[in-house]
Structure 1
Amino acid sequence: MSDSGLQPYKGGYYLWTYVPSLAAAIVFAVLFTGVTAAHCYRLWKSRLWFCIWFIIGGLMEIVGFCARASASSKTGQLIPYVIQNLFLLLPPVLFAATAYMILGRTIRSVNGERYSLVRVRWLTKVFVSGDALSFFIQGGAAGLMATGGNMQLGERLVVVGLLIQVVLFGCFCATAGVFHYRFQRYDVGAAAYGDGGPGGWRQSLYMLYAISALIMVRSVFRVIEYSLGHDGYPLTHEWTLYVFDSVLMFAAMVIFYVWNPSPDRYQQAELLNLEGVASSK
């Protein structure tokens, strides 16, 4: 290894290809702490408990960057490497789960079920189930990679998990886009559902588009990163992680906070959902 600050793990094997920046890790730990605290306050005020997955994702980012800061002086130790690798890889899966839940509730809140490609009662279940599969595959792969023994298998499994996430997001964006087009074109009452105001259905969809685009770019970057392998450019140059992952995920959390769901709208959606479940029994 060219970097004199690197320490070997076992038998001359190096977990890192560079010494992680202490300053960058601290900066992003502070940034994610701030935005996660803001989300906690918003959750306490709104009581939209399904949004807690966004907060859990933010907490994972904080832990990941704290571990990364610790690893800057402990590049030969396994635990900091494992924690930062796992806790920075998985949060977007939780952000995506929240986005899936919001789409179903948005459609239900405007009585737009007939315009959805997927039946609303199945929409969240299908996407969140696929999201959970991606989560477990990536988590298991990160564990394999952390041992330093099955790096190639771990990298391939990460790519599989990320590809599942990319495909899911493509289907999700198509579902949201088709609903958006159909509802505003064919429903004469579309404008009555807070179309132009804060928390309206249109603003909720635009928020989802923005978050989805950020997560999609990040996931494609991660696919490329792990496809190129341990010696590829992304995994040997730290700036790529911050530009194509950390900055994008921080932006996603900020966007979700600023254009957050309307509590009244989504509480109404929950009531409609409960009524629909009761009537089907």
Structure 2
Amino acid sequence: MTSSTYVLYDYIPSLGCAVAFAILFSVTTAVHLFQRIRTHAKYFNPFLVGGIFQIIGYAARAAAHFNDKSTTVYALQTLLILLAPTLYAASIYMVLGRIITFLHAQHLSVIPVKWMTKIFVSGDILSFLLQGAGGGIMSSGSSNSLKIGQWVIVTGLCVQLLFFGAFLIASLTFHFRIKQSPTVESKKTMHRHQRPWPQDWRGLLGACYLVSGLILVRSVYRLIEFAQGNDGYVISHEAFLYVFDAATMFLIMVVMNLFHPSVVLRSGGHQPDESVELGLRTEEQESE
């Protein structure tokens, strides 16, 4: 399918960059797949699917180098690359609830743990649907649908930023409270004299903060891109995509390879007692 009503790209998509990131995402996604199989961490399924989205998205972008007028290829790479971070966010939302349960610190959470995953993942799903709908509208190939689709995506990104901001506030509030009033479990699971970072719940929370910050940066970039429109400066320069989306999303996947939640929540020299394990299973069932 081709379109002559408007130009899909203001440049020829870079073959080298697209292939490079398709390979990079393939490597880190393969590691995540191995970690998923080894640890049975079901709550990281969305994250793994997000990696698959990136691989297919950048493979399609490589194909766009040879056929930059195909709306099918354009829609495929746009949608998958656009939606992958919402899948990352869904897994990160689930991780916070599991950390709180693991540390017996439900009383320190600003949001009841039983509602936490449902609230944030529901917001993530809404953002996912809006961005997906906007991308679908854009792919129809007319200038009017392009504008409508862009503003639907902007709405989805605003929803994502709203819920992500609330998630960060909830995370930071919990972190502050547990530092002021540590639970017995939080003290027991702290690994001392670890360098350059602690390999326990503190390091995992730090990784979640870093990942959240990178998703926020990427979302703000996308918000500016779509708000400017198809003739804007950002969307017409491919370098922005690779700096603020591809590179940041790849870094997110590598960070979570290094700080995979299962290492802290399931092992790390400390096995949770029966009550903690029951709480984790309950949270996992609610998040599925």
Q: TM-score, normalised by structure 2?
A: 0.89
TM-fit CA distance, 1:209: 0.2
Q: Does 1:142 align with 2:135?
A: yes
Which residue of structure 1 aligns with residue 173 of structure 2?
178
Preserved CA contact (<8 Å) 2:53 2:80: yes
Which residue of structure 2 aligns with residue 160 of structure 1?
155
Inter-CA distance 32–101: structure 2 relative to 1 (3 Å threshold)? same
Preserved CA contact (<8 Å) 2:61 2:73: yes
CA deviation digits over 1:2-32, x for unaligned, max 9?
Answer: xxxxxx9434422222110011100000000
CA deviation digits over 1:196-247, x for unaligned, max 9?
Answer: 4665221111010010000000000000000000010111000000000000
Structure 1 stretch 89-98 or stretch 255-264: which is displaced more?
255-264
Q: Does 1:253 align with 2:249?
A: no
Which residue of structure 2 aligns with residue 90 of structure 1?
83
Please list every run of 5 or more consecutive structure 2 residues that lacks an aligned counterpart in the other structure: none
Inter-CA distance 153–184: structure 2 relative to 1 (3 Å threshold)? same
Which residue of structure 2 aligns with residue 44 of structure 1?
37
Inter-CA distance 79–250: structure 2 relative to 1 (3 Å threshold)? same
Which residue of structure 1 aligns with residue 27 of structure 2?
34
Where relative contact order (Cα < 8 A, 6+ residues apart) is larger, the structure is 2
Which residue of structure 1 aligns with residue 220 of structure 2?
220
> 1 CA distance for matches of 2:16 and 2:217?
25
TM-fit CA distance, 1:65: 0.4
Query: Residue 24 of structure 1: SS of its match in structure 2?
Result: helix
Q: Which amino acid aligns with 1:161?
A: G
TM-fit CA distance, 1:148: 2.0
> 2 CA distance for matches of 1:277 and 1:41?
20
Preserved CA contact (<8 Å) 1:195 1:201: no
> 2 CA distance for matches of 1:223 and 1:23?
26
Preserved CA contact (<8 Å) 2:102 2:280: no
Inter-CA distance 215–264: structure 2 relative to 1 (3 Å threshold)? closer
Which residue of structure 2 aligns with residue 59 of structure 1?
52
CA deviation digits over 1:26-46, x for unaligned, max 9?
Answer: 000000000000111111111
TM-fit CA distance, 1:257: 0.5
Preserved CA contact (<8 Å) 1:195 1:202: no
> 2 CA distance for matches of 1:245 and 1:128?
22
> 1 CA distance for matches of 2:16 and 2:54?
16
Which residue of structure 2 aligns with residue 208 of structure 1?
208
Which residue of structure 2 aligns with residue 114 of structure 1?
107
> 2 CA distance for matches of 1:199 and 1:124?
24
CA deviation digits over 1:37-70, x for unaligned, max 9?
Answer: 0111111111111111111000000000010000
TM-fit CA distance, 1:259: 1.1
Query: Residue 173 of structure 1: SS of its match in structure 2?
Result: helix
Structure 1 stretch 74-83 or stretch 133-142: which is displaced more?
74-83
TM-fit CA distance, 1:275: 6.4
Structure 1 stretch 94-103 or stretch 49-58: which is displaced more?
49-58
Query: Residue 235 of structure 2: SS of its match in structure 1?
Result: helix
Which residue of structure 2 aligns with residue 81 of structure 1?
74
Preserved CA contact (<8 Å) 2:5 2:141: no
> 1 CA distance for matches of 2:81 and 2:210?
20
> 2 CA distance for matches of 1:76 and 1:277?
44
Matches for 1:190-205 after TM superposition, within 5 Å: 190-194=186-190, 196=192, 199-205=199-205
Query: Residue 14 of structure 1: SS of its match in structure 2?
Result: coil
Query: Residue 25 of structure 1: SS of its match in structure 2?
Result: helix
Q: Which amino acid aligns with 2:190?
A: G
> 1 CA distance for matches of 2:5 and 2:262?
55
TM-fit CA distance, 1:88: 0.4
Q: Which amino acid aligns with 1:226?
A: F
Q: Does 1:104 align with 2:104?
A: no
Preserved CA contact (<8 Å) 2:3 2:71: no
Q: Does 1:24 align with 2:17?
A: yes
TM-fit CA distance, 1:276: 8.8
1:272 corresponds, among 265, 268, 279, to 279
Please list every run of 5 or more consecutive structure 1 residues that lacks an aligned counterpart in the other structure: 1-7
Query: Residue 261 of structure 2: SS of its match in structure 1?
Result: coil
TM-fit CA distance, 1:152: 0.8
Count of aligned residue pairs for this structure pair:
271
